[in-house]
A and B are shown apart, each in its own frame.
Chain A
Amino acid sequence: MFNRRTIAVLKRELKNKLFSRTFILMTLLIPIFLFGILGFQTLIMTYSGNDKTNLVLITEDSNLTQKIKSDFNSLTFVKNGIIRFDYKTLSKAGFMGYLDESRKMLLEDKISGIIFIPGNALKNKKIEYYSKSPKNYQLFEKIRDPLNTTLLQVYFADKKLSPDEINFVKDKIDFNEYRISSDRKIEVEGYGNTIVSFLFSFLLYFSLIFTGTMVMRAVVEEKNNRIVEVLLSSVNSIELMTGKIIGTSITGVLQMAIWMLPLVVVISTTLFVLPPEFAVTLSIWQVLYFLLNFFIALVTFMGLFASVGAIFDNDQDAQSGIWPIMIIIMIPFFITMGLQSNPDNTIARIGSMFPFGSLIIMPARMALIDVPVWQLLFSFVINIATMLLLFPVAGKIYRTGILMTGKKPGWGEVIKWLQIKY
């Protein structure tokens, strides 16, 4: 399989890809794009709307109104005027009348909403919110804690508790996350590894589909231009496919290695110190495993993409014939998305040792938890086995398809190709 002809094809592939504009652009643009996405997400999350929010806060007890007013005035979002409060003390009946009067103001957005704290709130903490768009979770998120604090203080005011005791009641439980790994270290766990895990699965997903589509296109082009016939008069189809795929895979891994460089610098040197909540616990070996895993994934999937390219003789048909491969890339990718809420869920654990899943889920899992060595090895063996089993199958489809022209073959026909003996 590896001879001078395969090497010649491989060399052309490398030369062609590495110095192409696409390669250089992708290598530069993907990190920018990724950070762009992260930044954009943060922006969306923190965006609170630039409209000023005018709220009316009404209680049934003037003491409570005063207390809330003085407490709220020290809050940042009140101080810098993002939310403006009008405070009133009205009875339940008075409030109903006020609500009727303010209906027009509410509908015209002169008042964003009215918060009514009934007397009973000091027993059951039920508070009413009236607005044109009442499901304003962002607002609730903002005022829930300060309001709770004030209510607690009022509630406990005559019960002779010290502020410390009140604080204890008020405070929520704070989980400090520590990662236990086999090397006996206990480390504070931040978001760093979650980001790395996301990075691993996104880059795998993206690169596999992107490189795959390129390989598929190249095969369709060779088939279409009839170059393949000239090539096949010198090399056989397996040599051609092997050279092409190994060449592409080396290019892909090289690109991935470039993308990994900043990560490697972060984890192995002290040039950049990340804030503790973004600290990354990862060893060089894991990055190497990731790259090796990526290489196997490329070889495995590129074989499939090449055979789909060989089945069809134009890009459109090939695009529509690609769905079986997309499914086996996308399902594992979606499973990795679920890892962020529970890195050790059963589906992910099984998926990471299942053909195809092992290629995409394992790297993401490995970044989040200390995967037992046997699982890593098992997954690796599955990867190699999948690759070795699939490559000849892809080769068979490739060698038959590449010379077929004219009618678009059905899947049944493609299965028949597998039975052709060479």
Chain B
Amino acid sequence: MYSLEVKNLSKSFNNIKAVDNVSFSVPEGSVFGLIGRNGAGKTTTIRMMMNIYLPDSGEVLLRGVRIGQEFKDKAGYLPEERGLYKKMKIWDTLLYFAELKGKTGRETEKKAIQYLKKFELFDRRNAKVEDLSKGNQQKIQFITTVLHDPEFLILDEPFSGLDPVNTDLLKDIILDLKSSGKVIILSTHLMDFAERLCDHIALIDHGKIILHGSLNDIKNNYAKNNVILSCATDINFLKDSVLVDSIIDKGNEKSIKLKNPDDSDKLLQLLVENGIKVKKFIAGEISLHEIFIEVTSNGSSSNKEVANV
């Protein structure tokens, strides 16, 4: 069952197609990653999902019904470019944004206190937003996103500008929210995060979706031919081997693409025969980063959708 379906969304600015016929589906209870380079069309897509931009064509469905105010009330949105009223007090800010979503009263206040304590900002609740550090402002922004207990969380580059400690804190909260059944959609250009957090992804490049599906399926599909190798000595001789299609040198590790997925045993044998000291040899493994590089550098715009999402 899909909670959200994005269907054939397109949006142009001054005759430049920012988003070009984008479609993807977000399953219930998943963490969905919209990944792509800067300027690929992630934010524009998300803004159309939030009904901030109106698409030139296409639609977004919430459980089969076109999205409207109901979705806005159910969603919490953290935009890429954060924004709060500088002169407003933190406490007032939190309650104001919750009120806009229709949440007021004791329950909301209690939650606000909980979140402020969690982020160690409770003592500063009567300070003005402008008196906080940038990182702390980001935390406040995040609380405004989740305070009304949204069913959907839409986070545009949620980790940008956070230090490692707060990044982990935010990651934990996202996973917490996931386990309580929320649907989380996040956009990022950081493949590591996407790989660790998301179960489903859509890869967007130049306004088009070029890869879409469950992360496991995608990785399996791309990893079949791939071997990750770590060794002390030079392996240049492999370049001429009939088994190998290409080698990507990643410093400590090399990522070797085989012509035939069944040849990994032969490759290992070849390495041993040549007296190479193998430290690590993983067949059928690939990082999202590599997939990303591969599909975006192909220049192919064909929709490589993975079946059985």
Q: A residues bordering B, Cβ < 8 Å?
A: 4-5, 8-9, 12, 16, 222, 225-236, 403, 422
Q: Could you tell me the distance in whole angstroms from the C-beta of B11 to the nearest C-beta in chain A?
A: 12
10 nearest CB pairs, A to B: A226-B83, A233-B77, A227-B83, A234-B100, A226-B81, A229-B79, A225-B83, A8-B99, A232-B52, A233-B50
Q: Which residue of B lies closest to A404 (CB)?
A: B13
* Residue pair B82, A4 in contact (C-beta under 8 Å): no
Instruction: Kindly list chain A residues whose C-beta atoms are within 8 Å of the C-beta of B99.
Output: 4, 8
Instruction: Kindly list chain B residues whose C-beta atoms are within 8 Å of the C-beta of A12.
Output: 96
Looking at B47, B83, B144, the one whose CB has the most chain A CB atoms below 10 A away is B83
Q: Which residue of A lies closest to B69 (CB)?
A: A236
Known: A233-B75, A422-B54. A9 touches B100 (CB 8 A): yes
A9 to B100, CA, bound (A): 8
* Residue pair A225, B84 in contact (C-beta under 8 Å): yes
What would 23 A/B residue contacts be, using CB atoms closer than 8 Å? Answer: A8-B96, A225-B85, A225-B86, A226-B79, A226-B81, A226-B82, A226-B83, A227-B85, A230-B77, A230-B82, A230-B83, A230-B97, A230-B141, A231-B100, A232-B50, A232-B52, A233-B75, A233-B77, A233-B79, A234-B73, A235-B72, A403-B52, A422-B54
Instruction: Kindly list chain B residues whose C-beta atoms are within 8 Å of the C-beta of A232.
Output: 50, 52
Other-chain residue from A16, A228, A236 in contact with B83 (beta carbon distance below 8 A): A228
Q: Could you tell me the distance in whole angstroms from the C-beta of A308 to the nearest C-beta in chain B?
A: 21
Q: Could you tell me the distance in whole angstroms from the C-beta of B201 to the nearest C-beta in chain A?
A: 23
Q: Could you tell me the distance in whole angstroms from the C-beta of B276 to the nearest C-beta in chain A?
A: 54
* Residue pair B53, A403 in contact (C-beta under 8 Å): yes
In chain B, positions 63-115 with a C-beta closer than 8 Å to chain A are: 69, 72-73, 75, 77, 79, 81-86, 88, 96-97, 99-102
A227 to B73, CA, bound (A): 17
Instruction: Kindly list chain A residues whose C-beta atoms are within 8 Å of the C-beta of B100.
Output: 5, 8-9, 231, 234-235
* Residue pair A4, B102 in contact (C-beta under 8 Å): yes
Q: B residues bordering A, Cβ < 8 Å?
A: 47, 50-54, 69, 72-73, 75, 77, 79, 81-86, 88, 96-97, 99-102, 141, 144, 154
Instruction: Kindly list chain B residues whose C-beta atoms are within 8 Å of the C-beta of A235.
Output: 72, 100
A-B contact count (CB 8 A): 59
A4 to B99, CA, bound (A): 8
Instruction: Kindly list chain A residues whose C-beta atoms are within 8 Å of the C-beta of B144.
Output: 230
Q: Could you tell me the distance in whole angstroms from the C-beta of A397 to the nearest C-beta in chain B?
A: 15
Instruction: Kindly list chain A residues whose C-beta atoms are within 8 Å of the C-beta of B72.
Output: 233-235
Q: Which residue of B lies closest to A15 (CB)?
A: B92
A121 to B296, CA, bound (A): 104
Q: Which residue of B lies closest to A422 (CB)?
A: B54
Q: Which residue of A lies closest to B102 (CB)?
A: A4
A226 to B102, CA, bound (A): 22
Q: Which residue of B lies closest to A9 (CB)?
A: B100
* Residue pair B52, A229 in contact (C-beta under 8 Å): yes
A415 to B52, CA, bound (A): 21
Looking at A4, A227, A422, the one whose CB has the most chain B CB atoms below 10 A away is A227
Known: A403-B52, A403-B53, A422-B54. A234 touches B83 (CB 8 A): no
Q: Could you tell me the distance in whole angstroms from the C-beta of B144 to the nearest C-beta in chain A?
A: 7
* Residue pair B84, A227 in contact (C-beta under 8 Å): yes
A235 to B81, CA, bound (A): 18
Instruction: Kindly list chain A residues whose C-beta atoms are within 8 Å of the C-beta of B77.
Output: 230, 233
Instruction: Kindly list chain B residues whose C-beta atoms are within 8 Å of the C-beta of A231.
Output: 100
A225 to B54, CA, bound (A): 22
A85 to B181, CA, bound (A): 102
A403 to B18, CA, bound (A): 15
Instruction: Kindly list chain A residues whose C-beta atoms are within 8 Å of the C-beta of B81.
Output: 226, 229
Instruction: Kindly list chain A residues whose C-beta atoms are within 8 Å of the C-beta of B47.
Output: 229, 403
A16 to B244, CA, bound (A): 68
A234 to B99, CA, bound (A): 10
Known: A8-B99, A234-B101. A229 touches B83 (CB 8 A): yes
A8 to B103, CA, bound (A): 11
Looking at B88, B100, B154, the one whose CB has the most chain A CB atoms below 10 A away is B100
A5 to B82, CA, bound (A): 21
A341 to B54, CA, bound (A): 55
Q: Could you tell me the distance in whole angstroms from the C-beta of B254 to the nearest C-beta in chain A?
A: 43
A16 to B54, CA, bound (A): 31
Q: Could you tell me the distance in whole angstroms from the C-beta of B102 to the nearest C-beta in chain A?
A: 6
Sample of 14 further A-B pairs with CB below 8 A, known A222-B83, A230-B83, A230-B141: A5-B100, A8-B96, A9-B100, A225-B86, A226-B83, A227-B83, A228-B83, A230-B82, A230-B144, A234-B73, A234-B101, A235-B72, A236-B51, A236-B69
A4 to B84, CA, bound (A): 21
Looking at A9, A12, A16, A230, the one whose CB has the most chain B CB atoms below 10 A away is A230
A49 to B86, CA, bound (A): 53
A235 to B88, CA, bound (A): 19
A229 to B53, CA, bound (A): 10
Q: Which residue of B lies closest to A218 (CB)?
A: B85
Instruction: Kindly list chain A residues whose C-beta atoms are within 8 Å of the C-beta of B85.
Output: 225, 227
A219 to B279, CA, bound (A): 60
A127 to B75, CA, bound (A): 89
Q: Could you tell me the distance in whole angstroms from the C-beta of B187 to the nearest C-beta in chain A?
A: 14
A231 to B93, CA, bound (A): 12
Q: Could you tell me the distance in whole angstroms from the C-beta of B154 to the nearest C-beta in chain A?
A: 8
Q: Which residue of B lies closest to A421 (CB)?
A: B54
Instruction: Kindly list chain B residues whose C-beta atoms are within 8 Å of the C-beta of A227.
Output: 83-85
Looking at A222, A226, A227, A234, the one whose CB has the most chain B CB atoms below 10 A away is A234
A16 to B87, CA, bound (A): 10
A5 to B148, CA, bound (A): 14
Q: Could you tell me the distance in whole angstroms from the C-beta of A112 to the nearest C-beta in chain B?
A: 60
Looking at A226, A233, A235, A403, the one whose CB has the most chain B CB atoms below 10 A away is A233
A287 to B237, CA, bound (A): 96
Q: Could you tell me the distance in whole angstroms from the C-beta of B95 to the nearest C-beta in chain A?
A: 10
Q: Which residue of A lies closest to B85 (CB)?
A: A227
* Residue pair B52, A233 in contact (C-beta under 8 Å): yes
Q: Could you tell me the distance in whole angstroms from the C-beta of A235 to the nearest C-beta in chain B?
A: 6
A21 to B96, CA, bound (A): 21
